[in-house]
Structure 1
Amino acid sequence: MATQFLRRFFAPRSLVVIGASPKPESTGGVVLQNLLLAGFPGPIWAVNPRGYKEVHGVACFRRIADLPETPDLAIICSPLHGVPEVLEKLGARQVRAALIVSGGASLGEGAEALAGSQGEGSLRGSRGEGSLRARLQKATLQSGMRVLGPECLGVAVPSMRLNATYASQPIGDGSVAYLGQSGMLGNAMIDWAAGREVGFSHLVTLGDSLDVQLPDVIDYLNQSGRCRALLLHLEAFRNARHFMTALRESSRNRLVLAIKSGRTAEATLSPVAPTAGIDRRDAIVDAALARAGVVRVDDSDELFDALETLSRFRPPKGDRLAIVSNGVGPALLAIDKLIDGGGLLAELSEASAQALITQKLDVSRPGRNPVDLGGSATPEDYLSALEIVTRDPNVDAVLVLHAPTRLAPSLATANALVEARQRFRHRLLVSWMGLKEALDARAACNRAGIPSYVSPEKAVRAFLHLVRYRQVQNLLQETPPSLPFGSSAEMRQRCHALIDDALARQRDRLTHQETGDVLGAYGIECAPSEYVFDLEQAERATERLQGPWAVKVVHRDNCEPFRYGGESRRQAASLIQDLEQPGSVVDAVVRLEARVSEALPDSPIYSYCLQTMQRGKGSLQLCAGITRDAEFGPVIVFGTGGYKIDVMADRQTALPPLNMRLAEELIDRTRAGRLIREHSDDPREAIAWVSRLLVKLSQMASDLPRLKGLEINPLLLNQEGLLAVDFALDLGEASTQAIMPYPEQLRETVVLAGMNVEIRPIRGEDAPLITHFHTFLSEQSIRYRYFHHKAVLSTRDLSQLSQINYDRQMAFIAVRRREESESAEASDSGPRGEEMLGVVRVWNDPDNIRTEFSIIIRDDFHGIGLGRRLMRKMIDYSRQVGTLAMVGTVMSDNLPMRQLLASLGFELRLNIEEGVLEATLRLNEPQSDWQRHRLEAALD
């Protein structure tokens, strides 16, 4: 029900304000006045049981039943304790959307009902069956309405002349949407935006979100063409899969910035269960927003700074920054900000360094970055230095810092930069320090499209925003495969059997040996181990393993992953190392049994694990694993390993699914990653080993939904590779990933005209195949697909065609692999020895009511049955995912397509106005009245 009836919140044809009063402190009265001041074009009514004939010139009725018409939207401003009854009456009147505005209601009539944070009129802490929250939820379900709020500011769509809020000032029109969860912060955003001359396409605060959720509204905005940028204020996440799906779709089409409150436990109003294995849950939010292509900022001021920078300027190609300044002090401030923010100070090439020295431009550290021109620098000196630095291949962007001097006044220097800007290859950012003389310089640069800032720190922060936006957009475009590195159904079945057997025995964790079997099934090498159950077996095991040895007692409590603090000391107490003689091994078993029996009498011993000590190989100790977050589900963790240090201090997280590039990005965020690059004989190979392991863990998280946590610690890395020494795995209820993995299971190979043709879902890396495919299309084929001529696909076209959201879209491509000899001889061979023969696509609406298809086949492969095969596969897929109807538009002269669709059961109807045929195929029956209503409206 993502967008059901949401139009009525944002484009209502009529509305009613319930609880409106002429009293100046009335929230309903303020909302009504805002509607009138905005010039809402449709009918407005008021309802108040006090019997007012009119409120602020608007007709007022005692009862909802007395309204002359059924309004599109009801805005409820009455005391919360009576809202369930109001919802029931609105439902009886067939109202389909209700906005519960509070946050100021305590100032109006019925304030006594809202007094106290735990009183009858409050939702805080109200969770029981008879609570106000439960009554509101029940009334919402029974009424059949969509409800936004309560505890919200309201909704504003300035272009529709709609201001259904209690905001204290008008809301300007623009192309930026703001979605938040706090009414008061929304009120402040309006004022901040007005001060920066930013207008809104939509402004919504959702408050308690009893019904309409943040992803629902994002879905609605994704269908709106007016939203150029999206600003989010986040507090909590209720449906991570829906949130990530909607947000990733939005980020592909517009700039998305987010600010989140509740970074610390003290600032969290609705506590979430801690996530095992990490000490900062907020790191998971960072990882999720990054995978969604969202730039996260720390505060409201930075939110608007980032909006201004990212909406006006393109990101540089890399993150290496050079600094040119007329003083070393400002440059050092900039460098501190850059390094603290994770940026990279460029290292100038030898040619650039020599040129700066030859021209005597750098007075502090000749030939080094930053380039200090000195206090006597002139505008010409700036231009000379920039000619050199902007041509340096080691530099991606240049920050110009300027403090006004007699020899280089701010405006004169700015004018010189503006006139010469076309000569500079790299992106320039400028900080004109000061507030008087610098004003005109900043204005001149801004008019010329050169980013200009008031301080070095703000300029660097803007550069980091540009870099971060490029980074998160790259993460968004990654499409990890679902079954990497030879994963097989047999392997997964073996692991499922182990887990099912443990659950059948009422165990919530696997033994050490069972966990090793799971790791081995995924190709993760474990230290050779012997599992013994008595002293005699322990002594015999020393004959099969080379010494010296380590013995670990395996009991229930140390089969649980991520046990730290006092638990890590117990973990170490369960282990005895450096045993030189077989008799020492036997003695260790006796001692370990005594330790566990005394310290943990309720933790049964499963076995004893004997391993060869792994010393003398120069190994790095790492930790990798899977944990589960209460909001985002499975999470991959990685960092430094070992028992005797605070391993969580270095631990970073990533949401599965991962591919090699995403895994390497996770590694590079850790101190462990830096150690690998600094101390490995072959850093690239070592990083590849660790990345491959992380991808295998990602696949494990997808294959084994009952897996709750897995810790490999220590994980040893040396010149021979990776070795899992100790590990633990526990189980829980089945969980889903926040990001849908690549649907590898939908691949199939068919034989057409004697060729083996693979039909599979499209991937982000298929863009070169699409480009190659497009060159084989005739003008007629292109016109039939795009309804106009499109000789060349733009970069944006390729991005949209290859990078899809599998929760909402699907594209099956048909490819064939050319033999090496054939590819070498043919000038028309595609990338990777493959060529694309055709593609069928669908775009689902957020409610999965209707999906729109398109199909195109290469001209030289017409007539072999490929179009029919692709359409049948897409029809079967759409039926399977529950879509109700498939629709498409066909040009009237496209006779082969008309014949194909008719043979597949599509109904074809002529649209006389457009001169096209509309094709419709019913796939599934509606399961509810609202689905039936939506389907009929969509097909009408």
Structure 2
Amino acid sequence: MSTRFLHHFFEPRTLAVFGASEKPASLGGLVLRNIQEGGFKGPLWAVNLKGYSQVFGVPCFSRVSDLPEVPDLAVVCSPIEGVPSLIKKLGQYGVKAALVLSGGAYLDRDKGNKGSIRERMLSAARISGIRVLGPECMGLIVPGKKLNASYASQPVKAGRVAYLGQSGMLANAMIDWAAGRDVGFSHLITVGDSVDVLLPDLIDYVNQFSPAQAIMLHLERISDAQHFMTAVRDASRNRLVLAIKSGRTPESDISGMAPTPGIANRDVVFDAAFARAGVVRVDDSDELLDALETLSRMKPLKGDRLAIVSNGLGPAMLAIDKLISAGGKLAEFSAETQAALHRSEVDMSKPGENPVDVGGNASPERFVQALEIVAADANVDAVLVVHAPTRMAPSLVTAQALIDNRKKFRRNLLTSWMGLKEALNARHICNLAGIPTYISPEKAVKAFMHMVIYQRVQALLQEIPPSLPFSTSPEIRAQCRTLIKQAKEQGRQTLTHSETAQVLEAYGIPTAPSVYLANADEALARAAEIPGTKALKVVHEGNCRPYRYRKHPHKISAGLLQDLDTPEQVAEGVRQLGEKVAEKFPEYAIREYCLQPMQRGKHSMQICAGITRDPVFGPLIVFGIGGYKVNVLADRQVALPPLNMSLAADVVGRTHAASLIREHSADPERDIQHLCQMLVKLSQMASDLSDLRGLEVNPLLLNRDGMVAVDFALDLGSPSRFAIMPYPEELREWVTLKNGWQVEVRPIRAEDAHLITTFHRQLSEESIRFRYFHNKSNLTQRDLSILSHINYDRQMAFIAEYLGDDGSKEMLGVVRVWNDPDNIRTEFSVIIRDDLQGLGIGSLLMKKMIDYCTNIGTLEMIGKIMVDNHPMRALMKHLGFKCRYNMEEQVIDAVLRLNEPESEWQRHRLESMPD
């Protein structure tokens, strides 16, 4: 994961095209002409072994070593067989970036045990240090830099949207569509089958250095989920990110990944990942193009309330149906707007209500008048104009009237000019005027909802969650890890039913009272330990694994006998189940028999929840309807851990199970709260127990008495990387301050927002000014979100927390760092409560952070200090920072070298990065 040398791709001073000729079918010749016609200002050369003196007027050389100077970017269009050796030569010559458009059908074929072309390209790139984008990419286009190093069929206009994709052909279609709509791009890049520079690298680069207001992604596969999630989560905090993912069905999935246990279709995992990253997903190419229209022309929305102005109720009702079904809101007009609509008599149907029907005979002037009234309403966030052509108001004339008066409309405006022949020109002039326009009302509403969904997703991710319902401990982790270790030492890949019950109980998930039996004699002796009517289950090697029902999720064989009353019946049941297993599954050894009180589901909801593992995204939390005789996959939702209570509530709320609870529970809020707490506990379990591969609790009974896990299974595997780095429990420690207080120093978490708020209120104006460089008396919701919701891959914040005798918690100080994507440099800030300064808290926190950053390989730590912040300057000197006055910013720059660069590029990057 690195943006190393990526600026050579997007801001090259010099360019060389390899494999260019003037032959009609020459890919290199086509790319060379595009570079010329794009207006590239720097030196441009062609390289071809044929010994041409020039290609299309561009000087041509036979070898890279013959070039007048080392090019910043090499564009490779030569035959693919020779590309690995060419990349090695380019790197040795000092070229930093190679864009490989060449491709072929044999990229993965290994000839002569030398490795495939793809493998040899990657090896050459790593050995020589060059960055490689490709092979089989369309190229890249940066209109603002007059760079078109691609085989695109036509030029691209500069715009506000960055398009990053994995398909060159889809990108070509986007270019043609955008040209027809007069829409532009800030960047247009395809990675093809890139061996080195990957999509997350490009997302990081665009997020840091591009003026784009939105990013559009086309994905076919994701190879490194953690890299992808880190990059896209960072990007979505600053701008709207939309994504389209092909391969949604097993038939079109080209990833070759194994199925995810307990998941019918892996596409739901991508849904969960996009939602967690703050990305808005679009379903098809039409929607993607309409989204581009919206992103290019609309201002950011302030809310989700839509008003509709139409010259007929029929089209307006189509828009309303789509809006409501998509979860949108129809704006409710203020009393002033209703009165104005009554007075003006522009509404022909129900004056004062939304939608506004201006009538089939409405003139363009009436449209404009209605729009002025509606767009002035503070309860309206956007207005959709729906127009069907009439003699009184032809599409073109009405569109022109809207364009001429657009400055009068105070809200975002969307238009739908229905029809094809007459409406075509109306859509065209709206495109030229920069007004979003769509072929149907439904498409317009869908585009509007992209912006709304983005707002809602960001609001969810910025929501301050309630306190965690459960706190893990070293003792809990040790207890469960011991069970897992013992199972592995015995050669088992699963825990027994009784061992799994111990794990669940350790994490605060109640299980049904159980007696575990080895044989009929033990059953006869111990059956009375379970009072009343009983249920008996046999646990054998074939049914002790989770998610074993992929092909028949509605036929879960439990090996179960119910309604047993006497010890004799229990003993006979043990014999019957043992004989049944021996007959049907002779290859499976019986582990144990589980005897439980009979649990009637008549007054209970049956739930299925657990942990599974995806081959790309790692551990996942699953939740939905449960039971032995239902299709548990039909209602299953998934989420990426770690979860907090807000995220857990979102998962539960998306299921049919939640709807049933709200309809039938005597206390639905309590029951949903219990389920959310359980999901957070499962999330913590997944984080703590790295060898846990899968856990299924099914059924978990939920009723007025609470919830209880009745049946469950757990299997083991090798540790798997999380897509989102979980809370780093191992970094917590207790220390003693100079005044004798015992204080915990730990990483911050989202639930600490209330501690941050209280801490901020206790700071003096001077301390706030020293930290933020301006007065900041109150923290907004967004401030709290940024300060508490951190991405542990690239950020860290340690707080010093004091636990009072009454259980109250106080935040005494905090230190933060923000790492760049290449982990070259990190910027710190530290602030201590005024009444606690002098106790060594600042030094303690800084040393903790310095150790942390040193251990993760960061090269340098920097901070900016106000000139009159003398205590901080003294602390920096004590810690070994080099301090110098920055005349431009009029601050003190404090710099501490943590690790020495391991490569020349790191050294160069460190020297060239501004402080």
TM-score, normalization by structure 2: 0.89
Higher alpha-carbon deviation: 585-594 or 456-465:
456-465
- Structure 1 contact 330–401 (Cα < 8 Å) conserved: no
Q: Which amino acid aligns with 2:864?
A: T
Is 1:439 the counterpart of 2:399 in the alignment? Answer: yes
Alignment match, 1:812: 798
- Structure 1 contact 46–58 (Cα < 8 Å) conserved: yes
- 1:49: how far off? 0.5
Alignment match, 2:599: 614
Deviation per CA, 1:479-524, whole angstroms, max 9, x where unpaired? Answer: 7799751322111111111111111111111111111111111111
Higher alpha-carbon deviation: 520-529 or 299-308:
299-308
Alignment match, 2:360: 405
Selected match of 2:699 from 710, 714, 718: 714
Distance in 2, Cα, partners of 1:629 & 1:259: 20
- 1:444: how far off? 6.7
Q: Which amino acid aligns with 1:697?
A: L
Q: Secondary structure at the match of 1:278?
A: coil
Q: How does 1:369-380 map to 2 (within 5 A)?
A: 378-380=345-347
Distance in 2, Cα, partners of 1:124 & 1:412: 68
- 1:860: how far off? 4.9
Is 1:884 the counterpart of 2:851 in the alignment? Answer: no
- 1:24: how far off? 2.9
Q: Secondary structure at the match of 2:600?
A: coil
CA pair 577-334 structure 1, distance change in 2 beyond 3 A: farther
Selected match of 1:451 from 389, 413, 437: 413
Q: Structure 1 vs Structure 2: percent identity of aligned residues? A: 56
Q: Which amino acid aligns with 2:508?
A: G
Distance in 1, Cα, partners of 2:203 & 2:601: 55
Alignment match, 1:642: 627
- 1:661: how far off? 1.4
Alignment match, 2:661: 676
Q: Which amino acid aligns with 1:430?
A: L
Q: Which amino acid aligns with 2:414?
A: S
- Structure 2 contact 466–646 (Cα < 8 Å) conserved: no
Deviation per CA, 1:201-222, whole angstroms, max 9, x where unpaired? Answer: 2221111121111111111122
CA pair 685-377 structure 1, distance change in 2 beyond 3 A: farther
- 1:431: how far off? 3.7
Deviation per CA, 1:612-640, whole angstroms, max 9, x where unpaired? Answer: 21116501111101111011000111111
CA pair 789-495 structure 1, distance change in 2 beyond 3 A: closer
Selected match of 1:506 from 491, 499, 507: 491
Distance in 1, Cα, partners of 2:850 & 2:382: 51
Alignment match, 1:908: 883
Is 1:24 the counterpart of 2:34 in the alignment? Answer: no
- 1:182: how far off? 0.8
Q: Which amino acid aligns with 1:898?
A: R
Deviation per CA, 1:521-572, whole angstroms, max 9, x where unpaired? Answer: 1111111111111111112232111232222111011011111166668852
Q: What 5-or-longer segments of structure 2 have no aligned partner?
A: 417-439
Q: How does 1:114-133 map to 2 (within 5 A)?
A: 114=104, 117=105, 120=106, 122-123=107-108, 130-133=115-118
Is 1:855 the counterpart of 2:855 in the alignment? Answer: no
Deviation per CA, 1:435-459, whole angstroms, max 9, x where unpaired? Answer: 5435347647865234323143234
Alignment match, 2:322: 337
Distance in 1, Cα, partners of 2:911 & 2:308: 62
CA pair 401-314 structure 1, distance change in 2 beyond 3 A: farther
- Structure 1 contact 432–453 (Cα < 8 Å) conserved: yes
Selected match of 1:136 from 118, 121, 124: 121
CA pair 738-840 structure 1, distance change in 2 beyond 3 A: same
Distance in 1, Cα, partners of 2:471 & 2:780: 35
CA pair 897-174 structure 1, distance change in 2 beyond 3 A: same
Distance in 1, Cα, partners of 2:384 & 2:57: 54
Deviation per CA, 1:305-342, whole angstroms, max 9, x where unpaired? Answer: 33454673555657x87889886644553454345435
Alignment match, 2:531: 546
Alignment match, 1:34: 34
Distance in 2, Cα, partners of 1:599 & 1:771: 63
Selected match of 1:169 from 143, 154, 163: 154
CA pair 214-835 structure 1, distance change in 2 beyond 3 A: same
- Structure 2 contact 307–384 (Cα < 8 Å) conserved: no
Alignment match, 2:455: 470
Is 1:525 the counterpart of 2:507 in the alignment? Answer: no
Distance in 2, Cα, partners of 1:566 & 1:773: 54
CA pair 516-97 structure 1, distance change in 2 beyond 3 A: same
Is 1:180 the counterpart of 2:180 in the alignment? Answer: no
Q: Which amino acid aligns with 2:821?
A: P
Distance in 1, Cα, partners of 2:455 & 2:525: 59
- 1:756: how far off? 6.1
Selected match of 2:379 from 394, 408, 425: 425
Q: Which amino acid aligns with 1:803?
A: H
CA pair 775-580 structure 1, distance change in 2 beyond 3 A: closer
Selected match of 1:658 from 643, 657, 664: 643
TM-score, normalization by structure 1: 0.87
Q: Which amino acid aligns with 2:10?
A: F
> In angstroms, what is the RMSD of aligned CA positions?
3.3
Q: Secondary structure at the match of 2:254?
A: coil
Distance in 2, Cα, partners of 1:146 & 1:922: 27
Q: Which amino acid aligns with 2:822?
A: D
Q: How does 1:206-355 map to 2 (within 5 A)?
A: 206-309=191-294, 312-315=298-301, 329-330=314-315, 332-338=317-323, 340-342=325-327
Distance in 1, Cα, partners of 2:495 & 2:565: 30
Distance in 2, Cα, partners of 1:756 & 1:860: 17
- Structure 2 contact 554–632 (Cα < 8 Å) conserved: no
Q: Which amino acid aligns with 2:494?
A: R
- 1:403: how far off? 6.9
Distance in 2, Cα, partners of 1:719 & 1:444: 64
Deviation per CA, 1:336-367, whole angstroms, max 9, x where unpaired? Answer: 43454355789x99x99xx99xx9x9xxxxxx
CA pair 192-915 structure 1, distance change in 2 beyond 3 A: same
- Structure 2 contact 375–383 (Cα < 8 Å) conserved: no
- Structure 1 contact 481–744 (Cα < 8 Å) conserved: no
Alignment match, 1:50: 50
Alignment match, 1:385: 352
CA pair 69-322 structure 1, distance change in 2 beyond 3 A: closer
Is 1:926 the counterpart of 2:901 in the alignment? Answer: yes
Q: Secondary structure at the match of 1:558?
A: coil
- 1:672: how far off? 1.0
Is 1:731 the counterpart of 2:754 in the alignment? Answer: no
- Structure 1 contact 535–586 (Cα < 8 Å) conserved: yes
Q: How does 1:838-853 map to 2 (within 5 A)?
A: 838-853=813-828
Q: Secondary structure at the match of 1:198?
A: coil
Q: Secondary structure at the match of 1:611?
A: strand
Alignment match, 1:416: 370
Deviation per CA, 1:58-100, whole angstroms, max 9, x where unpaired? Answer: 1111111211211111110011111112112112212121110
- 1:199: how far off? 1.9
Q: Secondary structure at the match of 1:712?
A: strand
Distance in 2, Cα, partners of 1:302 & 1:841: 41
Deviation per CA, 1:726-781, whole angstroms, max 9, x where unpaired? Answer: 11111111012111223354445553556666544344455566566556666655
Higher alpha-carbon deviation: 860-869 or 629-638:
860-869
- Structure 2 contact 348–359 (Cα < 8 Å) conserved: no
Q: Which amino acid aligns with 1:496?
A: R
Q: Which amino acid aligns with 1:6?
A: L
- Structure 1 contact 535–589 (Cα < 8 Å) conserved: yes
Distance in 2, Cα, partners of 1:213 & 1:649: 35
